[in-house]
Amino acid sequence: MMTKKTLWMPAVILLLYGACMLASCQSCKDKAQVKVASTEDNSQFVTLTDVVPDAILEIRYFGTYNFVGSRIDGYEEPTALLTRQAADSLKAVSDDLIKQGYRLKIFDAYRPQKGVDHFVRWAENVNDTLMKSYFYPDLDKSVLFPREYICLKSGHTRGSTLDLTLFDMKTEKEVDMGGTFDWFGPESHPDFCGNPETGQYTGNNSKSPAQPKRSITPEQFQHRMILRRAMMRHGFKPFDTEWWHFTLKNEPFPDTYFTFPVKQIKK
């Protein structure tokens, strides 16, 4: 899948790029046998808000406020799609959090393969740094492949992964998580300044060498934990480098990467 554009990249970057292709990380695992569903085969998917009507949508890849800075290929409407199983589990999460005073805010759910391909093309062009100051100010763009911020495959394309945060119904504002969605850096890790397994805030920000004084507050850490615990209670597993990213444990299509576009599914 490498293009002519990659030939100018330093040899070490190419080697690491290849390593990323074979990595076993949750979000970009590239298995040897990959099944690709037909473009229009969305029969096992639902429009997320049909199942979770209380969810708020802010589909970042339909707009321009994202790390690329433009609408991403395959996002034809500002909606969110999930497999039926993932949507049903998310409804349980939503009901749980509403009792605590929160609603879910969705940034991304199902992502078509053409959207992932768009990310890859963008990452290959290291001169395109339009959104660097917003999403990766501490990184040189050339490291995005070797550090697995961008990979050839994404769990989102299997339809049971989503990116989300909390919305406070009392303040009518997005909850402060101590960092923005899609921030490329250790500050996005669930264990930044705390232990997500115990829920204990430690204040340890040693994971951020570029900005040693950067940290999140105990309240911000606990906000992350509220979301994490609710998602895990209802069948989702977290990701170790992104506090906003969760995948259904028993996802129905673990080896299938879908290609149909993101647009409203008609009943």
Residue 18: its pLDDT value, please? Answer: 36
Residue 37: predicted pLDDT: 66
Give residues with Cβ within 8 angstroms of 99, minimum separation 6. none
Neighbours of 156 (CB within 10 A): 26
- Give residue 69's pLDDT: 98
- Residue 28 has a pLDDT of 45
Burial of 140 (0-12, 13-18, 19+ CB in 10 A): exposed
| C-beta contacts of 36-41 below 8 A and 24+ residues apart | 36/113, 36/256, 36/257, 36/258, 36/259, 37/253, 37/256, 37/257, 37/258, 37/259, 37/260, 38/259, 38/260, 39/259, 39/260, 39/261, 40/260, 41/258, 41/260
Q: Please tell me whether 156 is known to bind a ligand.
A: yes
What fold, for 11-21+42-185?
Answer: Muramoyl-pentapeptide Carboxypeptidase; domain 2 (3.30.1380)
Q: What mean pLDDT is predicted for residues 213-228?
A: 95
Q: Residue 245 annotated as binding?
A: yes
Extents of the domains making up the chain = 11-21+42-185
Rounded to the nearest 10 degrees, the angle between the axes of helix 218-233 and helix 84-98 is 130
Query: What pLDDT score was predicted for residue 213?
Result: 75
Distance of alpha carbon 240 from alpha carbon 100, whole angstroms: 25
Q: Hunting for tokens 């990323």 — which residue is that?
A: 20
- 2-16, 39-53, 109-123, 211-225, range with the lowest pLDDT: 2-16
Give pTM, 2 decimals: 0.87
pLDDT band at 34 (very low <50, low <70, confident <90, very high): low
Q: What share of the chain is helix, strand, coil (3-state, %, to 5)?
A: 30, 15, 55
Catalytic residues: 242
Phi, psi of 17 (to 5 degrees): -60, -40
Question: In which band, very low, low, confident or very high, does the pLDDT at 205 lie, cut at 50, 70 and 90?
Answer: confident
User: Are the CB atoms for 170 and 103 separated by under 8 Å?
Assistant: no
Q: Tell me, what's the pLDDT at 207?
A: 76
The residue-averaged pLDDT of 193-219 equals 88
Strands annotated E in the chain: 45-47, 56-57, 81-83, 102-108, 161-168, 173-174, 194-195, 200-201, 236-239, 242-248
What is the distance between the alpha carbons of residues 123 and 260, in angstroms, rounded to a whole number? Answer: 23
Chain segment 4-17, per-residue pLDDT in tens: 333 333 333 332 33
Give the separation between CA 78 and CA 57, rounded to whole angstroms.
Answer: 8
Residue 220 CA: distances (Å) to CA of 31, 69, 175, 187, 197: 36, 27, 8, 12, 16
pLDDT tens per residue across span 173-185: 999 999 999 999 9
pLDDT tens by residue, 39-68: 678 999 999 999 999 999 999 999 999 999
* pLDDT tens-digit series, residues 57-106: 999 999 999 999 999 999 999 999 999 999 999 999 999 999 999 999 99
The pLDDT assigned to 1 comes to 34
Residue with tokens 């850096």: 185
- pLDDT at residue 33, as a whole number: 55
What pLDDT, on the 0 to 100 scale, is given for residue 204?
81
Residue 163 in marked binding region: yes
**pLDDT above 80: residue 165:** yes
The overall average pLDDT reported for the chain is 87
Task: Specify burial of residue 79 (Cβ count, 10 A radius: 0-12, 13-18, 19+).
Answer: buried
Phi, psi of 236 (to 5 degrees): -105, 150
148: exposed, middle or buried (Cβ count in 10 Å: 0-12, 13-18, 19+): middle
